Amino acid sequence: MPIFKYKGYDPQGSATEGVIEADGHRDAALKIKSRGIFPKEITEETPSRKKGLFKKYSPLVLAGITRRLSTLLYSGVPLVEAVSSLSSEQKGNWRGILIDIKDRVSGGSSLARAMQAHPDIFPDFYTGMISAGESSGTLTDVLLKLADFLETEVTIKNKVQTALIYPLFMACVSVFIVMFLFTFVIPKITKVFEETSAALPFATIMLIWISTAFKNFWWLLLLIAAGIVTAFRWVRKNRKEIIDNILLKDPTGILSGLYMLRFTMTMSFLLSGGLPILKAMQLTSRATGNAVLENRIMTAQNLVSQGAKLSSSLEGFPPSLLQIIATGEQTGKLPEVLMKTADAYESEFERKLQRAISLLEPILILTMGLIVGFIVVAVLLPIFEMNQVVK
C-alpha cells in the first residue's frame, strides 16, 4: 500500500505533518480528515534506491537492533513504543532512521513498508521477511531469525578477514623489502662488479639488470601496477561474470564452498521465514556473491515458476547438494535440510580455509628465501671467481 506524506492543521489550528498508508490520494485525504486534521498538502512517497545516510548498512548494528526489537515485542511492548525506545538508545544516523520508522508506523504504515524507505539500510531479504512475519503474525520469531542470520553472516566474514590478515601482511612486507633491496641496496653492491672488466656470471648479470630496471623504471612499474588494478576493477564492474566464472573453478574448492554455504544458508533462512520459493530464490541469487551462480539461480527460478522442481532446475551445482534438495522437496522439509547442509558447508569451509592459510605462510617464506638466496649467489659468485684469478 502506498505511503503519503501530508502537511496540514490540527483542530487547534497548529501546523502538523506526518505520514499515512492509503490506497490513493482520495483515501489518504479521508483518513487524514478522520483524525481531525485539515490537509493542506498530500504527496505520495516511493522508496528511493539512491544512496541514503549510509553507503553500506552495518549488519552487526542492524542485528543488535533487530534482536532488541524482538525482545521488546515478545515482552508485550507495542510496536511504535518499541521502535521509539530503540531510537532513544541510538545516536547519529541510526537514531534518525528509527525515528522516521516510528513516525511512519504511527501514521498507519506497516513496519516493512516503513523500512523500505531506507533500502540501503534494510536489504530486500530483510524487509521481505518482516512483511511475511507481519502477515503471518510471527513478527517476533522472524526478527529473532533475522538477528541470528545477520550475526552468522558477520561471523563468517570475520573468520575470512582474520585468516587473511597475517598472510597479507607478510606479502606486503615481502614486496616492500624486495623493492627496497633492488632499488637502494643492490645497486651499491653491483657497482663494484660493473667497474671490472672481468666477465660476470649470468646470475650477477640478471641481478644487475633487475636492479637497474627497479632503479630507473620504478615509475613504469607503478603505472603497470595501477593499470592492472584499473583493468581489474573495470572487468569486475562491467564483465563481472568473467572473473566469477574463474573463481568458480578455484582448485582448492574454498570459494565454491563459500558460495554453496551462502546459497544453502540464505535459502533455508528465507524459506523458514515464510517467503515463497520464487521470492526466496530471487533474494538468494544476490546473496551468493557470484554473478554466474546468480544467473543460474534466476534461470532455475523461471523453470520453477513453470512447475519444475528446484533440484532439477539448478545447473552447475554439486550433485550431492541437488540430491539433498530433492530429498527435502520429497519430504516437505526443504528449509530444515538446507540448514543442516549449510552447517556442513560451514564446517568444511573453515577446515579448507585453515589448511590453505597454513600452506600459504610457508610458501611466502620459501619465496622470500629463494629471492634472498638468488641475491646472495649473484653477489658471491663473482667474488669467488675474482679470488680464483688472484690465486
Summarize pLDDT for 339-361 with one digit per residue, the tens.
999 999 989 988 988 888 888 88
Local confidence band at 49 (pLDDT 50, 70, 90 cut-offs): very low
pLDDT confidence of 52, banded at 50, 70, 90?
Answer: very low
Q: What is the pLDDT of residue 45?
A: 62
- Whether residues 40 and 66 share a domain: the answer is no
Mean pLDDT of 162-185: 83
Question: Does residue 53 register a pLDDT over 80?
Answer: no
Same domain, 10 and 72: no
β-strands 15-21, 3-9 pairing: antiparallel
All cell numbers assigned to 9: 492543521
| pLDDT score at 54 | 33
Q: Determine how many CB atoms are found less than 10 A away from the CB of residue 174.
A: 15
Residues 261 and 329 in one domain: yes
Where does a domain end: 103, 122, 141?
Answer: 122
Section 265-292 average pLDDT:
89
191 domain residue, yes or no: no
CA distance 291 to 242: 9
pLDDT in tens, 157-168: 888 888 888 888
CATH number of the domain bearing residue 338:
1.20.81.30
pLDDT at residue 251 tops 90:
no
Q: Could you tell me if 312 and 261 lie in one domain?
A: yes
Torsions phi, psi for 315 (to 5 deg): -110, 135
At 50 the pLDDT is 41
d(Cα 284, Cα 334) in Å, to the nearest integer?
15
pLDDT at 388: 64
Q: Mean pLDDT, to the nearest integer, of 17-35?
A: 77
C-alpha separations of 364 from 175, 182, 250, 351, 387 in Å: 11, 18, 20, 20, 35
What is the predicted pLDDT for the residue at 197?
Answer: 65
Same structural domain, 92 and 27? no
Are 341 and 266 contained in the same domain?
yes
Would you place residue 199 in the very low, low, confident or very high pLDDT band (cuts 50, 70, 90)?
confident
pLDDT computed for residue 46 by the predictor = 57
- Per-residue exposure over 38-68, b if at least 16 CB sit within 10 Å of its own CB, e if not: ebeebeeeeeeeeebeeeebebeebbbbbbb
* Residue 24 contacts residue 118 (beta carbons within 8 Å): no
Please name the amino acid found at residue 365.
I
The confidence score (pLDDT) of residue 34 equals 82
pLDDT band at 71 (very low <50, low <70, confident <90, very high): very high
- Give a yes or no: residue 382 inside a domain: no
**Is the CB of residue 101 less than 8 Å from the CB of residue 114?**
yes
In a shared domain, residues 7 and 89: no
Q: Is the pLDDT of residue 300 over 80?
A: yes
Domain count along the chain = 3
Nearest to 46 by CA among 119, 117, 96: 117
Instruction: Average the pLDDT over each of 34-48, 218-232, 241-255, 369-383 and give the range with the smallest value.
Output: 34-48
C-alpha cell recorded at residue 27: 483515501
Q: Is residue 266 part of a domain?
A: yes
Which uninterrupted H or E stretch holds 148?
Answer: helix 139-180
Beta-strand ranges (E) seen in the chain are 3-9, 15-21, 38-45
The segment with the largest mean pLDDT, out of 12-26, 46-60, 310-324, is 310-324
* Full domain range(s) for residue 306: 254-350
Is residue 24 within 8 A of residue 15, CB to CB? The reply is: no
Write the DSSP symbol of residue 6: E
Nearest by Cα to 379 from 199, 244, 186:
186
Q: Check whether residue 258 and residue 338 sit in a common domain.
A: yes
Residue 195 belongs to a domain = no
In a domain, 30, yes or no: yes
52 occurs within a structural domain: no
Q: Is the pLDDT of residue 389 over 70?
A: no
The rounded mean pLDDT for the chain is 84
Q: Can you say whether the dihedral through the CA atoms of 152, 153, 154, 159 is positive or negative?
A: positive
pLDDT tier, 55 (very low <50, low <70, confident <90, very high otherwise): very low
